[in-house]
Amino acid sequence: MRISELSRRSGAPVSTLKYFLREGLLREGERLSGNQTSYDDSHVQRVRLVRALLDTGGLSIAAAKRVLATLDDENSSLAHTFEAAQHALGVGRDGSSRAAASEAARERIARVAARNSWHTSPENPGFEISARVLDDLAAIGYEPSDAYLAAYAAAADTIAHADLGALRDRESADLIAELMIVGTVLGDALIAGLRRLAQESATEELFPVAEPRADARPSGARQPQRRDPK
Amino acid sequence: MRISELSRRSGAPVSTLKYFLREGLLREGERLSGNQTSYDDSHVQRVRLVRALLDTGGLSIAAAKRVLATLDDENSSLAHTFEAAQHALGVGRDGSSRAAASEAARERIARVAARNSWHTSPENPGFEISARVLDDLAAIGYEPSDAYLAAYAAAADTIAHADLGALRDRESADLIAELMIVGTVLGDALIAGLRRLAQESATEELFPVAEPRADARPSGARQPQRRDPK
Q: Is residue B158 within 8 angstroms of chain A, CB to CB?
A: yes
Please give the single-letter amino acid code of residue B57: G
H/E stretch holding B37 reads: strand B37-38
Which range (A120-134, B57-71, B123-137) has the least confidence? B57-71
Name which of A54-58, A167-171, A199-203, B38-42 the model is least confident about: A54-58
pLDDT at A217: 38
pLDDT tens per residue, range A186-212: 888 899 889 989 988 887 777 655 444
B227 shares contact with chain A (CB less than 8 Å) = yes
b/e sequence A91-100, b meaning 16+ C-beta within 10 Å: bebeeeeeee
- CB proximity list for A205: less than 8 A, separation 6 or greater: A228, A230, B164
State the CB neighbour count (10 A cutoff) for residue B58: 15
Contact (CB, 8 A) for B189 and A132? yes
Rounded Cα gap, residues A75 and B224, in angstroms: 11
Compute the distance between CA of residue A19 and CA of residue A48 in angstroms, rounded to an integer: 14
Q: Which of B53, B149, B191, B205 to mutate to test the interface with A (most CBs of A within 10 A)?
A: B191
Does A205 touch chain B if contact means CB atoms closer than 8 Å?
Answer: yes
ipTM rounded to 2 decimals: 0.75
Q: What is residue B40's three-state secondary structure? A: coil
Q: A65-74, A92-101, B153-162: which has the minimum mean pLDDT?
A: A92-101
Note the pLDDT of residue B209. Answer: 53
Query: Do B178 and B49 meet the contact criterion of CB atoms below 8 Å apart?
Result: yes
Residue B77 pLDDT:
75
CA–CA separation, B208 and A121 (whole Å): 14
Pairing state between β B30-31 and B37-38 = antiparallel
pLDDT higher than threshold 60 for residue A166: yes
Distance CA A203, CA A109 (A): 27
Confidence check: pLDDT of B161 > 70? yes
Give the minimum alpha-carbon distance from B40 to chain A in angstroms, rounded to a whole number.
Answer: 16
What is the average pLDDT value for chain B, to the nearest integer? 81
- The whole-model pTM stands at 0.75
Highest mean pLDDT among A46-55, A220-229, B51-60, B109-118: B109-118
Q: What pLDDT was estimated at residue B110? A: 96
| Residue A169 sits at the chain B interface (C-beta within 8 Å) | yes
Find the DSSP H helices in A99-145.
103-115, 125-139
User: What gap in Å lies between CA A184 and CA B186, rounded to an integer?
Assistant: 18
* pLDDT > 90? residue B212: no
Return the minimum-mean-pLDDT range out of A23-27, A31-35, A52-56, A198-202. A52-56
CB contact under 8 A, A140 and B200: no
Q: Tell me if A197 and B126 make a contact (CB, 8 A cut-off).
A: yes
| A15-24, A40-49, A158-167, B78-87: least confidently modelled range | B78-87
